[in-house]
Amino acid sequence: MNCPHCASATAKEQTQKTTLGYRVFRCSACKHRFNERTGTPFNFLEYPTDVVLLVVLWRLRYKLSLRDLAEMFMERSIVFTHETVRDWEARFASLVTDQLRTKRRGQAGKSWYVDEAYIKVHGKWCYLYRAIDADGNLVDSRLSEKRDMEAAQRFFKQALSVVGHAPERVITDGHASYPRAVREILGNGVQHRTNKYLNNLLEQDHRGVKQRYYPMHGFGNFESAARFCRAFDEVRNYFRMRPTMGEVLSLPEQRRLFCERFAALQLLMRVAS
């Protein structure tokens, strides 16, 4: 293992371990001692990395409050407060988001369905711009305080950077900001259609974030709302078992895929950290 202090490859493993069971190393070059989590975002945490990741993933994946998660783990003799869950979400949700965005780069289809969902933040309605492709897979999502030309342009720029390619066709509602935003950001060669009935696929897909958002009774501030909505959409899309519309999967196959993806995501986060 390379030393996180001097990047030397001469570190040697010691016989003792940390109180959480992580291996300890000593660098022969700079004489520093370190463990497996030194230099990672999980360093100095009083809980194992797997527990922290599990709490964050459950918070994003399921309709659980901060106190629900604290109680569920307390039954397993792992004790922390609901404020600890809030802190872990703030620190590590973005890490999950970044890894999943990188993983799905280039995978979105050529037809994008774009619309906004209303999200209440500190008593004020904000706009969650979302886009999916023809198979229902996530293109991108972005929370905005306004619904105007600048917000639409920023959303399309972000979607391009995440996906890596422009679509052939974009379907939106009739809001006046979209024609110019599509033309200036995605290019004149992109076909733009405005028909509310064509966007029914995305209207139905909004239910995912709406069902997760309602039990929370809104968000306290814009930053936490934007972070949670982005991470929620990425995790929900990652565990979507039907990558194409109309595909039929048996329940045992769905469960097998879920377990595989959950284990792969945990491994991805450990490696990334």
* Chain segment 41-89, per-residue pLDDT in tens: 787 788 888 899 999 999 999 988 899 999 999 998 999 999 999 999 9
Please tell me whether residues 122 and 204 are part of one structural domain.
yes
Please tell me whether residues 228 and 115 are part of one structural domain.
yes
Please tell me whether residues 166 and 85 are part of one structural domain.
no
What's 87-142 look like in SS3? HHHHHHHHHHHHHHHHHCCCCCCCEEEEEEEEEEECCEEEEEEEEEECCCCEEEEE
pLDDT in tens, 165-197: 999 999 998 889 999 999 999 999 999 998 777
The span from the CA of 24 to the CA of 11, in Å, is: 10
* Per-residue pLDDT at 210: 85
Show the domain range for 51: 42-103+241-273
Please tell me whether residues 117 and 197 are part of one structural domain.
yes
Please tell me whether residues 28 and 65 are part of one structural domain.
no
Please tell me whether residues 116 and 208 are part of one structural domain.
yes
Please tell me whether residues 57 and 154 are part of one structural domain.
no
Please tell me whether residues 119 and 224 are part of one structural domain.
yes
Please tell me whether residues 85 and 120 are part of one structural domain.
no
Comparing 73-82, 102-111, 183-192, 213-222, which segment has the lowest mean pLDDT?
213-222
Sheet holding 191-194, edge to edge: 138-144, 124-133, 111-121, 169-172, 191-194
Please tell me whether residues 133 and 165 are part of one structural domain.
yes
Count structural domains, the chain: 3
Please tell me whether residues 118 and 221 are part of one structural domain.
yes
More confident residue, 30 or 170: 170
**Which one, of 252, 207, 235, lies nearest residue 95 by Cα?**
235
Please tell me whether residues 119 and 205 are part of one structural domain.
yes
